[in-house]
Amino acid sequence: MLRGYLCDRHVYKTHDRVLVRRLEEKETAKGGIIIPDTAKEKPQEGEVMAVGAGKIEEGKRIPLDIKTGDRILFGKYTGSDITIDDQEYLILREEEILAKVSGIAKAASGKK
């Protein structure tokens, strides 16, 4: 179970990995133009759905700074895409997370 999220399978996170659901951007640009799926880049912001127990260093487990429910920013080409029960997720190592954000944030794509 994904800690409170409905899922038909059990997903066990290991070590310093986190399970992330990408947060989709709005489909309409500021000028009212609808952007087709083929032209969209994958979002670089997500919500942490589940976390592993932490990394083991020198025989001691070090818990993650990231918690379930956190909103995070991550690099464009990081992590592994997976599908669980027709829902797409991303598995990242904690070190691949660029930032934890509060409130509503939007990842900068470098485009205006």
pLDDT at 102: 83
pLDDT of 30-72, one tens digit each?
666 776 666 556 668 999 999 998 988 899 999 999 999 999 9
DSSP 8-state assignment for residue 12: -
H or E segment at 91? strand 87-93
pTM for this one? 0.68
- What is the pLDDT, as a whole number, of residue 25? 65
pLDDT value for 47 = 94
Considering only the top CATH level, what class is 1-24+40-103? mainly beta
Domain boundaries, the chain: 1-24+40-103
49, 20 Cβ separation under 8 angstroms: yes
